[in-house]
């Protein structure tokens, strides 16, 4: 009986941490949007283009790199994906 309770608690804790991790990974995108992208221009530059293809966003972010945006390859890839899906948190970011 006690062992079953312990097992249940570990399971609940596991699900909790797994979800917390997923949320943290997702909000890295909006962190970059807020910190880096808004450094040079307003969100009206990119919010109307939410949901455009991954190809479009990769090309556009290449332009931003040429404009002087300082992000790693991984960060550019993350933002391109999050803006093209578009990810729920990107939509939320743009509805502010
Ligand atoms: C160092 C400055 C800088 C940063 C950082 C930056 N941009 Fe830009 N962005 C510009 C400039 C300058 C323009 C206008 C000229 C142009 O279209 O290239 C622009 C234009 C745009 C456009 C319109 C492009 C078009 O074809 O009309 C989009 C979309 C955009 N930025 C998205 C982003 C996103 C998303 C980020 C964050 C990953 C970002 N930008 C970060 C400088 C920057």
| Contact assessment for residue 27 and residue 89, using Cβ atoms and an 8 Å cutoff | yes
86 prior amide bond cis, ω within 30: yes
Confidence of residue 11 (pLDDT cuts 50, 70, 90): confident
Q: Is the pLDDT of residue 81 over 90?
A: yes
CA of 24 relative to ligand 1 center, distance in Å? 25
Q: In testing the pocket of ligand 1, which one of 33, 34, 41 has its CB within 8 Å of the most ligand atoms?
A: 41
CA of 58 relative to ligand 1 center, distance in Å? 12
pTM of the model: 0.81
Rounded to whole angstroms, the Cα distance separating 68 from 82 reads 21
């Amino acid at each position: 009986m006690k062992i079953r309770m312990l097992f249940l608690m570990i399971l609940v804790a596991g699900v909790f941490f797994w979800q917390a991790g997923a949320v943290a990974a997702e909000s890295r995108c909006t962190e970059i949007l807020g910190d880096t992208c808004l450094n040079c221009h307003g969100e009206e530059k990119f919010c109307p283009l939410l949901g455009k293809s991954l190809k479009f966003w990769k090309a556009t972010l290449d332009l931003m790199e040429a404009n002087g945006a300082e992000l790693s390859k991984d960060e550019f890839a993350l933002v391109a994906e999050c803006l093209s899906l578009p990810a729920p948190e990107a939509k939320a970011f743009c509805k502010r």
